[in-house]
Structure 1
Amino acid sequence: MTSFQRISVIQASELLEKQAAKVLDIRDPQSFSQGHIPGSLPLNNDNVQQILDETEEDETVIVVCYHGISSQQAAQYLVEQGLNQVYSLDGGYQAWGQAFG
């Protein structure tokens, strides 16, 4: 994969039910602490190298932000760092919250 792909909240939920994806949340720490997709990990400048080191290149990764815009840039960055299965969550955490409360 030379570019990230986009994924809907329904598709993401299906992957998570199968425990087939790692979710990385790029929102600020306060927003993350107030609510996040179960099992997701915060991703920021301080831990990005650690996350990359702990992620297999073919592992499925879903990047989440507030509305699905900023996650696209972060997803592309992860692809450029060698990850092959990277998705940006369409609509971000806002869409996830609307779909799943």
Structure 2
Amino acid sequence: MQPFQHISIADVASQQSDVVIADIRDSGSYTAAHIEGAVNLSNDNLGEFLKDTPKEQPVVVVCYHGVSSQQAAQFLTEQGFQTVYSMDGGFEGWRVSQPVVSGQ
């Protein structure tokens, strides 16, 4: 089992269309603003995500500040995902320099 890796905001932005972005923030925060194309991953839809997402698909986990995403990224590697990243700086870091989608 390969451990998760850290990834910078700039690297996520440049690879955005090639990865699954799993936003683990609460649904209210996700609805208010999120990274375009991100999936709001919660306990309610975790089983579906694990079943429907190919294990070879790179996954970037995003939380508020880049701390909780590390635990979630480790969990996903333990579930068999081959390439998992925790985004350093989290969503709060992203929104400072990158566009966000809101109200969806």
The count of corresponding residues between Structure 1 and Structure 2 is: 99
Give me the TM-score of the superposition, normalised by structure 1.
Answer: 0.94
Secondary structure of the corresponding residue to residue 30 of structure 1:
helix
Once the two structures are superposed, what CA deviation does each residue of 1:43-88 show, in whole Å capped at 9, x if it has no partner?
Answer: 0111111001111111010000000000000000000000011000
Quote the RMSD (CA, aligned, Å): 0.9
For residues 56 and 43 of structure 1, what CA distance do their matches in structure 2 show?
15
Letter in 1 for 2:58: T
Secondary structure in structure 2 of the residue aligned to 1:24: strand
TM-score between both structures, scaled by the size of structure 2: 0.92
Q: Partners in 1 of 2:77 and 2:84 — Cα distance?
A: 7
Moved over 6 A (4+): none
- Tell me the distance in 2 between the aligned counterparts of 1:52 and 1:14: 25
Q: How does 1:1-101 map to 2 (within 5 A)?
A: 2-16=2-16, 19-101=17-99
Gaps spanning 5+ residues in structure 1: where?
Answer: none
